[in-house]
Structure 1
Amino acid sequence: MAATAADSATPTISAADTTTHLADLKHDAVEEPSSSSKSEEKIASEIEIGNLTINESNNKFFHDPESSNIKTITSGETPYASAFTFEELNLLPELLKGLYVEMKYEKPSKIQAISLPMILNPPYLDLIAQAHNGSGKTACFTLGMLSRIDPKLKAPQAICICPTRELAIQNLEVLRKMGKYSGITSECEIHTGKKQTIRPPITSQIVIGTPGTIGHRIRANKLSLSYLKILVLDEADHMLAEDGFKADSVHIMDKIRCVNPQCQVLFFSATFNVTVKEFAAKIVKGNHNQLFVKKEELSLQSVKQYKVNCPDELAKVMVIKDRILEFGERVGQTIIFVRTRNSAMTLHRTLVEIGYDVTTIQGALKQEDRDKIVKEFKDGLTQVLISTDLLARGFDQDQVNLVINYDLPVKHNHPTEPDCEVYMHRIGRAGRFGRKGAVFNLLCGDADEMIMTKIKTHFGTEIEEVPDWRNEEDFVVALRSAGLL
């Protein structure tokens, strides 16, 4: 891999005989639905990777605040140089084509520039990586998996485990889009709710799924670990937390290590508390690399955070209906986060009764219903989605500009202690990839005020107050300040 200069160097990819720019390419290569049209295939087939040049403006697809400081801790004797262009990573032309044509990337984001050389170069050390929401973490491990596959070997070589089926499906969509021209096979292993039938062993080269289903496939000897090169835990802090999927994750890792001790392990998340961080460092192999961002820098600069003091529950409902959603329809889609399934159902019923059209997702729904609700929201068919923390992590939808915390997140069995990690993931659903966004935290009583104060102190972030929950103009001012009106 070519060595690079300082982080301030200007990236350049050029060919002497071409004037083709990605800015022009974006208008020609249309965003593709699940089934490609012949014209789109023709466009893609005519593009030569060597003839692409990079628009040197800032990469607008990711949120890379200039003040962000990613702390790097490396092990061993391998020197790593940041990659300012994807070409410096010595990627196959088919993967470059996927990055530029399908993903429409221009250059690596900061987390990609730092982490990808660590992932892709021998001795393939394990990595614990934390970075801002919307900074391109998914592309890091997706490209890492695609790059390590031997296309001639028809066997599982990479596994990505996610805490929810929604995130697993989303990651598979990203992987298939990025790897469209590679010929690499992939599949999603999630619980479908259907009766299990006898099935052949998995031959797909990349497998993405949830811990329960992945574990079941391994125990049933349907998912071979013999050729595995890379294991990814997405939302790793939750995957390794006591109240998350720690037992499942450790069991899977132990099975892999018994069969294939050289398998590279990647932990990715926007948050890592001290306990999980220390545990993660213990279970990876001896020499490993780490990337971390200070918690004070995690709050997205493009997302304005507000608190609204409400006298009672009905006032919270009226704020949503008459003060926020009335404007929300003009500025994008909205996700309303609640604490429990009962709260989700109650709020849904209340908003529908007073004439609002909303959809709701929570863990008790049938799998096919959850998939349908997510698809409709992603397709823009619905504007307002009520959700438990099922969609707090990793859920990407570019048009979400508003997040409402109807209930503040608290730690399990500790109703006065905020779950700061979940809060950060929730607000990260707004303003994805550097877009403008706003978060309204609806408070009701002294307990909520205390929780909000603890969140503000934890992150050292600015959370402004909307002076009067009854005053429409106060919300207009807030949305204008957030750049949404």
Structure 2
Amino acid sequence: MSDDSWAVAVDLQESTTPSLQVRFVKETNASPKTAENGGSRKSWNQADLAEQSLLNKLIRRSLVRNRNQVEVLQRDPASPLYSVKTFEELRLKPELLNGVYDMGFNRPSRIQENALPMMLAQPPQNLIAQSQSGTGKTAAFSLAMLSHVNLENKWTQCLCISPTYELALQIGQVIEQMGKFCPDVKLAYAIRGNRMERGTKLQEQIVVGTPGTILDWCTKHKLIDPKKITMFVLDEADVMIATQGHRDQSIRIHRLLTEKCQMLLFSATFEDSVWKFAERVVPDPNIIRLKREEETLDTIKQFYVICREKEDKFTSLCNLYGSLTIAQAMIFCRTRKMAAWLSVNLRLEGHQVALLSGEMTVEQRAAVIERFRNGKEKVLVTTNVCSRGIDVEQVSLVVNFDLPVGLDGKADNETYLHRIGRTGRFGRRGFAVNMVDGEKSMDIIHEIEMHFNRTITELDTSNLEEMESLIS
């Protein structure tokens, strides 16, 4: 089936998880829209949130090391705080416990320790949880849905909504893997293009999909009786409310459910807009959130280099490589055109270079990052698509070939922090070098210095002795 084709829903009886019956059809894979060469910052952020979330899911094969402390706010402060250190303590069905171990989970992650007892509690408890990709969040609510299913009831009991069909598929794959020893549990994907016969009722106990299609299945097509839904999971809430239409569709789905339905909401970030949305959707919740770690630049030495044009920037970059012992480097450019020019010239100098930009599919980007992480390329040239959420321990140098600037022409401090934060990971020493090509760029450097209350030191890359003294 081609990427842009449509198909009729099928039952995949022979798949990698043959015991769990799945209804699935893939939706059109549209090309990602970016603002690398212009366009709306708002629309770029909307696409970026969803694509970045999927990218993280694709590249994180195992749980990430999370140093954040978890803060638990209980609905009933008098209730004893219950957490688990082993999956056996949850008293799961043997088939589910086998599925958990088969997926490679040996012990609960930090978010799972605290969230699973609440999600599995009787009577049911509502939950709002902050959790980033790679922390075991998806496995946690997948386990909750699989545990929640009453096999005697041949109707949909658990609804899980996700902002994009790619993310929905990722969730479904986790449910399939974890439920591989549960032959009577059925899963359906509510994504556009999955055509179902009107008037029939789904017998799949778990439905995962996007808000628009799930809303249609509940209202227009009557495939799901929302009054029979007993667990509602809303994943990637921050992405959801940043995507046009999804916020309102999610609220409309929520209104169809009964007050007894258990509500579980997850988000990687909790800005005010997310909190307001969460409070509207999840009544009387328990809350799990990450205690904010202070963003630290203590292990990163920051420099700027005065240049006239891109050729001077390139010469300075080559001088850096001639004087530094660099494990791996990430170089950020403003546009795809500049990133392509730079990667070609670096290859001509004999460097192993990977190029990452927004016209690639998410899967292609994940493959590039995987190669870089494995050391097959030593230099990653990229636009902003790679500034967030990717930890490569061996990155020792970040270069802002173009400084991050907002639509207002001022320094984009958040992007700057995310960019240079790719080095100095896990307490290692790192270097950030900023290329300055005029008075406007120098003003940006001063704005960044004031924002972070840090001095960025001038570096003359043509003076080897000075570089050695500053960088050592």
The answer to whether the superposition gives a TM-score over 0.5 is yes
Tell me which amino acid in the other structure corresponds to 1:248: H
Percent of residue pairs bearing the same amino acid type = 27
Which residue in 1 is equivalent to 2:287? 290
Deviation (angstroms), 1:165: 5.1
1:81 to partner: Cα distance = 0.7
Residue in structure 1 matching 2:410, options 410, 416, 420:
416
In 2, distance between residues paired with 1:425 and 1:150? 47
Q: What's 2:354 paired with? A: 358
| Secondary structure at 1:352 match in 2 | helix
Question: 1:348 corresponds to which residue?
Answer: 340
Q: Distance in 1 between matches of 2:468 and 2:205?
A: 51
2:293 corresponds to 1:266: no
1:248 is matched with which residue: 237, 246, 249? 246
Q: Paired residue for 1:27?
A: none
Q: 1:116 to 1:151 in 2, by over 3 A?
A: same
Report the 3-state secondary structure (helix = DSSP H, G, I; strand = E; otherwise coil) of the residue aligned with 1:268. strand
How far the C-alpha of 1:70 sits from its partner, in A, is 2.4
| Structure 1 residues 470 and 357: CA distance shift in structure 2, 3 A | same
| 262-271 or 204-213: bigger deviation | 204-213
CA distance in 1, matches of 2:119, 2:213: 26
> 2:232–2:263: 8 Å Cα contact kept in structure 1?
yes
Tell me, what secondary structure is at the counterpart of 2:232? strand
1:359-378 alignment runs, 5 A limit: 359-362=355-358, 369-374=361-366, 378=370
SS for the counterpart of 1:231 is strand
Residues 423, 282 of structure 1: CA spacing in aligned structure 2 closer, same or farther, 3 A cutoff? farther
1:229 aligns with 2:223: no
Query: Is the 8 Å Cα contact of residues 305 and 440 (structure 1) preserved in structure 2?
Result: yes
Instruction: Give the distance between the partners of 2:267 and 2:285, measured in 1 at CA.
Output: 16
What does 1:13-92 align with in structure 2 at a 5 Å threshold?
A: 61-65=63-67, 68-76=68-76, 78-92=79-93
Alpha-carbon RMSD: 5.1
Give the total of aligned pairs.
394
Q: CA deviation at 1:288?
A: 0.8
> 2:39: which partner in 1?
none
- Report the CA distance shift for 1:350/1:308 in structure 2 as closer, same or farther (over 3 A): same
The answer as to whether partners of 1:64 and 1:109 remain within 8 angstroms in 2 is no
C-alpha contact (below 8 Å) 2:459/2:467 kept by paired residues: no
User: CA 1:255–1:346 in structure 2 vs 1: closer, same or farther (change >3 Å)?
Assistant: same
1:121 maps onto 2:121 in alignment? yes
For the 8 Å contact 1:154–1:204, the answer to whether it is kept is yes
Task: State the alpha-carbon separation in 2 of the partners of residues 98 and 207 from structure 1.
Answer: 19
Q: Which amino acid aligns with 1:271?
A: T
1:121 to partner: Cα distance: 0.9
Q: In structure 1, what is the Cα distance between the partners aligned to 2:177 and 2:465? A: 43
Distance in 2 separating the partners of 1:160 and 1:335: 37
- 1:381 Cα offset (Å): 11
AA aligned to 2:260 is Q
Shift of residue 454, structure 1, vs aligned partner:
7.1
Q: Is the 8 A contact 1:112 1:140 kept in 2?
A: yes
* C-alpha separation in 1, matches of 2:130 and 2:140: 11
> 1:167 and 1:293, CA in 2 relative to 1: closer, same or farther beyond 3 A?
same
Equivalent pair of 1:409/1:423 in contact (CA under 8 Å): no
Pair member with larger Rg: 2
Does residue 304 of structure 2 align to residue 309 of structure 1? yes
Q: Secondary structure at the match of 2:249?
A: helix
The alpha-carbon distance between structure 1 residues 424 and 97, as it changes in their structure 2 partners (threshold 3 A), is farther
1:228 and 1:135, CA in 2 relative to 1: closer, same or farther beyond 3 A?
A: same
What are the Cα deviations for residues 98-123 of structure 1, in whole angstroms up to 9, with x where unaligned?
322322x2322222211221222134
Q: What is the alpha-carbon distance in structure 1 between the residues aligned to residue 223 and residue 323 of structure 2?
A: 50
Q: State the 1:283 CA deviation.
A: 0.6
Contact 1:237/1:269 (CA < 8 Å) preserved in 2? yes
Look up the match of 2:26: none
Q: Verify the 8 A CA contact 1:95 1:182 in the aligned structure 2.
A: yes
Deviation (angstroms), 1:279: 0.6
CA contact (8 A) 2:99 2:179 kept: yes
Give the letter aligned to residue 254 of structure 1.
Answer: R
DSSP-derived class of the 1:95 partner: helix
Distance 1:467 1:335, change over 3 A: closer
Are 1:449 and 2:445 counterparts? Answer: yes
Contact persistence 1:345–1:360 (CA under 8 A)? no
Q: How far 1:420 moved relative to its partner? A: 4.1
Partner Cα separation in structure 2 for residue 478 and residue 210 of structure 1: 52
Is the Cα contact below 8 Å between 1:306 and 1:463 reproduced in 2?
Answer: no
Q: What is the deviation of 1:404?
A: 5.2
Counterpart Cα distance in 2 of 1:394 and 1:178: 26
CA contact (8 A) 2:398 2:431 kept: yes
CA contact (8 A) 1:418 1:454 kept: no
Give the TM-score of the pair, scaled to structure 2.
0.62
The whole-number CA distance in structure 2 between the counterparts of 1:315 and 1:167 is 42
CA distance in 2, matches of 1:159, 1:410: 41
Equivalent in the alignment of 1:100: 101
Contact 2:333-2:381 at 8 Å conserved across structures = yes
Aligned-partner Cα distance in 2 for 1:325–1:142: 50
- The offset of 1:347, in angstroms, is 1.0
Structure 1 position 88, deviation (Å): 1.4
1:12 aligns to what?
none
